[in-house]
Amino acid sequence: MYGFEAMTFNIHGGYLEAIVRGYRSGLLNAADYNNLCQCETLDDIKMHLSATEYGPYLQNEPSPLHTTTIVEKCTLKLVDEYKHMLTQATEPLSTFLEYCTYGHMIDNVVLIVTGTLHERDVQELLEKCHPLGMFDSIATLAVAQNMRELYRLVLVDTPLAPYFSECITSEDLDDMNIEIMRNTLYKAYLEDFYRFCQKLGGATAEIMSDLLAFEADRRAVNITINSIGTELTRDDRRKLYSNFGLLYPYGHEELAICEDLDQVRGVMEKYPPYQSIFSKLSYGESQMLDKAFYEEEVKRLCLSYEQQFHYAVFFAYIRLREQEIRNLMWISECVAQNQKSRVHDSVVFIF
């Protein structure tokens, strides 16, 4: 019952909520990013990060450093924190935390299947997989030739099994089919996560509904833009949109018939929350759209910390830490490639 969480929430969730709010205080702030953007080498970045919570993870890394090493070690910190929270959690928080990783599982499945299609080494692909999305039988994905085999041989025993019901076909896997599979799985995952949060009720349902609706709408826009000029039909495009969110259902009808970016912009500007995102872009420009969406997402994630006694702070923390890792990767790449003039192009400040 909404408003009464305060009476019982702390029995099971109080300790972990305190932990995750403590983790949040360890996120890099604007001063840290300004210092990182001044760095001349990757060793300078390592030296600055040694004064932050990433210090213990990077201290034993020898020079010369690589961008992949920095990203790997920073991701390891997130994984350690996530595992600590998961081992301490009881139901329904433990299931909620597991839901937070299903997106990475989908990305890992797609990575392995795409890599195998292009005859890449499986071991090399496994190293590129996100550690939060690993599962026992992931290496055997390489043997599948079509969706049916992929499901029957591997995925039937994973949490992703229910999401595969809509995309089991006997068609051979190619780049187009794999991308459709990714988006169909994401649609099923987001709808399932949304229903789970609604069942939890209270502040969790309220805040998570907003965050997941934003994610669903962002994916709808990206699917539309990426499918312009491809053989994907309007009906196929509409099937990939999630059945919830601010754009559902009328916005989806309009997005499905868009033929260029300016038409997408025209649809999105009818919705006040997204009007501000598209007002930052010039006409015909899509490069900065991702950054504008990330900035809006970060704003919403930070707002979830303003309320207490709900699970959305765990989702928000994982997403904010992932955004921080993306920022560090971009800064490290700019420094490594001597492109410091572009260092601010993709950095999204969290505080």
Q: What secondary structure does DSSP assign to 7-68, as a single string?
A: HHHHHHSHHHHHHHHHHHTTS--HHHHHHHHT-SSHHHHHHHHTTSTTHHHHTTPPSSP-HH
The Cα–Cα gap between 204 and 320 comes to 18
pLDDT at 341 over 90: no
The band of 221, judged by pLDDT with boundaries at 50, 70 and 90, is very high
- Mention every residue, 6+ apart, whose C-beta is less than 8 A from residue 83: none
Residue pair 20/85 in contact by the 8 Å Cβ criterion: yes
pLDDT (0 to 100) of residue 8: 80
* pLDDT recorded at residue 21: 93
Does pLDDT of 333 surpass 60?
A: yes
Q: State the pLDDT at residue 34.
A: 92
pLDDT at 13: 84
Predicted pLDDT of residue 114: 86
| pLDDT at 141 (0 to 100) | 76
Element (H, E) at 73: helix 67-88
pLDDT at res. 63: 82
Confidence check: pLDDT of 175 > 80: no
- Look at residue 286 in the predicted model and tell me its pLDDT: 67
Give the highest mean pLDDT range of 72-86, 125-139, 331-345: 72-86
The pLDDT of residue 283 is above 70: no
Residue 284 has pLDDT above 70, yes or no: no
CA dihedral over 257, 262, 267, 273, signed as positive or negative: positive
pLDDT of residue 171: 63
What's the whole-number mean pLDDT along residues 175-188? Answer: 88
pTM of the predicted model, to two decimals?
Answer: 0.93
Question: Residue 334: pLDDT above 90?
Answer: yes
pLDDT band at 178 (very low <50, low <70, confident <90, very high): confident
Residue with token string 């919830």: 244
Determine the pLDDT at residue 116: 81
| 23, 317 contact by CB (below 8 A) | yes
Identity of residue 349: F
Average pLDDT over residues 6-24: 87
pLDDT band at 1 (very low <50, low <70, confident <90, very high): very low
Q: State mean pLDDT over 236-259.
A: 93
pLDDT above 90 (res 166): no
Distance CA 272, CA 283 (A): 18
295 vs 95: CA distance, rounded Å: 28
Mean pLDDT for all residues in the chain: 89
Whether pLDDT at 344 is above 90? no
Q: Is the confidence at residue 170, as pLDDT, over 70? A: no
CA-to-CA separations, 306 to 95, 210, 299, 309, in angstroms, rounded: 23, 14, 12, 10
